[in-house]
Amino acid sequence: MDSLNNNIREYTTQLSKGQIQKAYRGIMTFMSDLKAYLEHNNSDYTSSALYFGYMDMTYFAFTPLSLKNKKLKIAIVFLHEECSFELWLAGNNRQTQAEYIELLGHKDIGEYTLSQIQPGVDSIIALSIVNQPDFDNLDELKKLIEVKTIEFVEDIISILE
């Protein structure tokens, strides 16, 4: 069993190499730039603050008013360990999440899979959109995430109608 002291020694050893800080700073800069890019190109959406996370996930909400009025949000999520991006349909709180999982359980949601209500699950629907993203081509990555996000939002709005 790992002790906290051993974990911290390993952490400081890895930090002394400098790559973790550079990678983390690069991810945070990209997420901040992505948020600004999406806000600039999609003025009919609202966004939340960037949640930096505990090196597990980093995300921000980017939601059209029609979903926000239903107490829903779209989260653009970077999963650190998997090095992947996901889109989540999420509720403003656990009660809303549970209500929409129940509601959508009785609808045809096409290719999407409903999340299960359990501790640590914050999505109603989660969709993987980019696995092993190319951080050397940031403009292309931003455009790809934008296209996938808009498609996901349109699908969700259609399902909820």
pLDDT at residue 91, as a whole number: 96
- The reported pLDDT for the residue numbered 154 is 97
pLDDT of residue 1: 66
Q: What is the pLDDT of residues 31-60, one digit of tens each?
A: 999 999 999 999 999 999 999 999 999 999
* Residue 123 token pair: 């999505």
Give the rounded percent of residues in the chain with a pLDDT score beyond 70: 99
For the CA atoms of 64, 67, 70, 71, the dihedral, rounded to the nearest 10 degrees, stands at -70
Average pLDDT over residues 128-150: 97
Per-chain mean pLDDT for the chain: 94
For tokens 């081509």, name the residue: 137
pTM over the 0.95 mark: no
The token pair at 35 is 């948020």
Share of the chain above pLDDT 90, in %: 88
Lowest mean pLDDT among 25-39, 70-84, 102-116: 102-116
Question: What pLDDT, on the 0 to 100 scale, is given for residue 116?
Answer: 86
What pLDDT is recorded for position 121? 85
Confidence at residue 159, expressed as pLDDT on a 0 to 100 scale: 94
For the chain, which residues make up each domain, given as ranges?
27-160
Residue pair 72/63 in contact (Cβ under 8 Å)? The answer is: yes
